[in-house]
Amino acid sequence: MISSNISVNETSHLCFAGVDVTALAARYGTPLYLLDEDRIRERCRTYKSAMAAAFGPRALPLYAGKALCVRDLYRIMREEEMGIDVVSSGEIYTAKSAGFPMERAYFHGNGKTDADVAFAMEAGVGTFVCDSREELDAISRFATERGITQRVLLRLAPGIDPHTHRAISTGSVDSKFGAAIETGGAEALCRAALSLSGVRLVGFHCHIGSQIFDTAPFLDAVRIMFSFAADMRERLGYTAEEINLGGGLGVRYLAEHPTIDYAACIAEIGTAVTEACRALSFPLPAIRMEPGRSIVADAGMTVYTVGSVKEIPGFKNYVAVDGGMPDNPRYALYESPYTVLPANRMNEKRDFVCSIAGRCCESGDLIQEGVALPRLVRGDLVAVLTTGAYNYSMASNYNRIPRPPMVLLSGGHDRLIVRRESFEDLLRNEL
Ligand code: LLP
């Protein structure tokens, strides 16, 4: 199995976090999102302890809520004493409603509006990760008006190609995010931040991309960020207190993907940080990382019911399920790989190669292609693994399909944390 929270019981049923998936589908209906709380906590602890070992006691992992943003997640993050990365007023609202201590929140985004800036300050967000001169001016103006001093990190584009999907690569010079080091934009933003009232520049941020298996681009990012920090010390007399290296470590979607040792990756990045500090005689700053996918992806699973099986002799086969791109747009968007299992027929031979089709009115609505399953029939269950990240958070109501519910699993118990959307929910905003 691709993850240790997946197993099969004596009735040939798939189990997730020790719970029979067929029984959960019977209780809650399908499509259904499942979430393994114990796995999420385990990953938070791995990040916390590995970062403390690599970067010292001031280090803090920030969970990137864009991967999965629901109130219960922020409760878990509060209990695990994590920080968080928030990217909209909606995420801030969700985190605050879970009682998350907002001084440990970092507010990202290249499109913060004045309303967002005001909302975040009102909510007590600890740090803004500023993306542009316009945003910096807005932060300064609002903070000065309120008589506060806002902590600010500057988002920089270090000019790195992390060899991941183009749509999720974010650190290159021509990225829409941040100020490029190479063009002098970063230095100009730094000068501005040091000159404005209401702003306390605490350091620099970068995020190079997502679903990255190799540590090499992170080590490059460390070298580039620290050399920029040393340049700013030399040229502007400013010493960064904090460096945020963003998120991006990959997860295993398929058996052929490597199992990632997150602690070992963090230790390697730690060595690069120590070396950079020594080489530049730079005092070790407080280090932040912002994992999203690697905290929640393999803590998630989606369960569907089969509606029809279509064989096109000489061409291909389809298994159509009761969900699709509204609950998981990632194959349609990025051709993302997923492992698909026959949840109620796990011990049968898998010799029927098929595409898993969603129920939407477009051919691109596929969950996966080239999957080997038993010859399923209407009513059978299909489980898609590793759907904890960027599934519910990217879900839509396309074709007026209500979003599925989410059930949290912990210690063998299940609890509904998000109810299934109703038809009334679909009409809620219509006047
Ligand atoms: N920090 C920043 C500033 C980010 O932009 C992101 C992700 C993260 C942290 C978390 O990265 P992670 O550890 O999850 O790789 N929708 C795409 C992924 C987009 C990632 C956007 N930024 C997908 O479904 O693959």
Can you give the residue ranges of every domain in the chain?
A: 6-36+297-427, 108-291
CA dihedral for 93, 94, 95, 99, sign (positive or negative): positive
Q: Please check the confidence at residue 41 and state whether its pLDDT lies above 90.
A: yes
Q: Please check the confidence at residue 168 and state whether its pLDDT lies above 70.
A: no
Give dist(CA 344, CA 271) in Å, integer: 46
Give dist(CA 112, CA 289) in Å, integer: 21
Q: Is 13 in the pocket of ligand 1 (CB under 6 A)?
A: no
Strand 340-342 to 381-385 pairing:
antiparallel
CB 198 within 8 A of CB 140: yes
What is the residue whose two structure tokens read 């040792």? Answer: 261
Q: Is 102 in the pocket of ligand 1 (CB under 6 A)?
A: no
Q: Which of 385, 386, 398, 274 is nearest to 340 (CA)?
A: 385
Q: How far apart are the CA of 328 and the centre of ligand 1, in A?
A: 16
pLDDT tens, 288-332? Answer: 999 999 999 999 999 999 999 999 999 999 999 999 999 999 999
Q: How far apart are the CA of 292 and the centre of ligand 1, in A?
A: 6
Q: Which of 169, 249, 236, 251 is nearest to 204 (CA)?
A: 236
310 Cβ partners below 8 Å, 6+ apart? 317, 318, 320
Q: Is 106 in the pocket of ligand 1 (CB under 6 A)?
A: no
Q: Is 85 in the pocket of ligand 1 (CB under 6 A)?
A: yes
CB 338 within 8 A of CB 385: yes
Can you give the pLDDT at residue 169? 60
Q: Please check the confidence at residue 143 and state whether its pLDDT lies above 90.
A: yes
Angle at 157 between CA 156 and CA 162, to 5 degrees: 135
pLDDT tens, 205-218? Answer: 999 999 999 999 99
Give dist(CA 21, CA 34) in Å, integer: 9
CB 343 within 8 A of CB 415: no
Q: Is 175 in the pocket of ligand 1 (CB under 6 A)?
A: no
Q: How far apart are the CA of 297 and the centre of ligand 1, in A?
A: 12
Q: How far apart are the CA of 139 and the centre of ligand 1, in A?
A: 24
The model's pTM: 0.97
Nearest atom of ligand 1 to the alpha carbon of 209 = 15
Residue of 293, 295, 298, 390 to mutate, ligand 1, most atoms within 8 A of C-beta: 293
For the question of residue 361 being annotated catalytic, the response is yes
Q: Is 388 in the pocket of ligand 1 (CB under 6 A)?
A: no
Can you give the pLDDT at residue 232? 98
What is the residue whose two structure tokens read 């932040």? Answer: 288
Residue of 66, 175, 386 to mutate, ligand 1, most atoms within 8 A of C-beta: 66
Residue nearest to atom 9 of ligand 1 (CA): 247
pLDDT tens, 63-114? Answer: 999 999 999 999 999 999 999 999 999 999 999 999 999 999 999 999 999 9
- Omega into 31 within 30° of 0, i.e. cis? yes
Can you give the pLDDT at residue 185? 96
Mean pLDDT of 224-236: 98
Mean pLDDT of 343-348: 98
Which pLDDT band holds residue 175 (cuts at 50, 70, 90)? confident
Can you give the pLDDT at residue 144? 98
Q: Tokens for 135? A: 């945003």
Q: Between these two residues, 368 and 168, which has the higher pLDDT value?
A: 368
Domain 6-36+297-427 classification at class level: mainly beta
Nearest atom of ligand 1 to the alpha carbon of 291 = 13
Q: Please check the confidence at residue 267 and state whether its pLDDT lies above 90.
A: yes
Mean pLDDT of 23-42: 98
**Percentage of residues of the chain with pLDDT beyond 70:** 98
Can you give the pLDDT at residue 166? 58
Q: Is 131 in the pocket of ligand 1 (CB under 6 A)?
A: no
Q: Please check the confidence at residue 271 and state whether its pLDDT lies above 90.
A: yes
What is the residue whose two structure tokens read 């730079």? Answer: 282
Give dist(CA 147, CA 141) in Å, integer: 10
The residue type of 2 is I
Q: Please check the confidence at residue 165 and state whether its pLDDT lies above 80.
A: no
Torsion angle (degrees, nearest 10) of CA 383, 389, 391, 392: 110
What is the residue whose two structure tokens read 């990040």? Answer: 47
The residue type of 44 is C
Average pLDDT of the chain is 96
Q: How far apart are the CA of 67 and the centre of ligand 1, in A?
A: 7
The one catalytic residue in 15, 265, 277, 361 is 361
CB 198 within 8 A of CB 143: yes
Which pLDDT band holds residue 170 (cuts at 50, 70, 90)? low
Least confident of 74-88, 174-188, 282-296, 335-349: 174-188
Residue nearest to atom 19 of ligand 1 (CA): 168
Can you give the pLDDT at residue 164? 62
Q: Is 390 in the pocket of ligand 1 (CB under 6 A)?
A: yes
Can you give the pLDDT at residue 163? 65
Residue of 266, 290, 327, 328 to mutate, ligand 1, most atoms within 8 A of C-beta: 290
Backbone angles phi, psi at 25, to 5 degrees: -65, -40
Can you give the pLDDT at residue 162? 72
Where residue 68 falls (left for φ over 0; alpha for ψ -120 to 50; beta otherwise) is: beta
Which pLDDT band holds residue 1 (cuts at 50, 70, 90)? confident
Q: How far apart are the CA of 241 and the centre of ligand 1, in A?
A: 24
71-79 and 37-55 are packed helices; what angle lies between their axes, rounded to 10 degrees?
Answer: 40
pLDDT tens, 387-409? Answer: 999 999 999 999 999 999 999 99
Q: Is 292 in the pocket of ligand 1 (CB under 6 A)?
A: yes
Q: Which of 125, 134, 187 is nearest to 156 (CA)?
A: 187
CATH classification code of 108-291 = 3.20.20.10
Which pLDDT band holds residue 376 (cuts at 50, 70, 90)? very high
Least confident of 12-21, 153-162, 255-264: 153-162
Q: Is 291 in the pocket of ligand 1 (CB under 6 A)?
A: yes
